Amino acid sequence: MITTEDKTLIAENVEVDMETLRIAKSSREHPLARHRAQAAIVEAVIKGFYPEDRKRLEAYERGE
């Protein structure tokens, strides 16, 4: 869930395998592997946003 100044974006049906979660949380993994796992989770969450929330996020990233 990403919180902006006044809104929360909602994602549903986000699928991430347990190994990716384990790597993303682990302090024992190589930093590049951990970063890739974290990026995969972020991408999964973004894909799970409602279409209108995805558009709002894109506008927010553009500074609108």
Does the pLDDT value for residue 2 go beyond 60? no
Adjacent-strand bridge partners of 11: 49
Quick one: average pLDDT of 10-15? 86
Contact status, residue 1 vs residue 11, Cβ threshold 8 Å: yes
Question: pLDDT category, 6, cuts 50, 70, 90?
Answer: low
Does this model's pTM top 0.75?
Answer: yes
Nearest to 12 by CA among 56, 51, 45: 45
Give residue-wise pLDDT tens across range 29-53: 999 999 999 999 999 999 999 899 9
DSSP state of 6: S
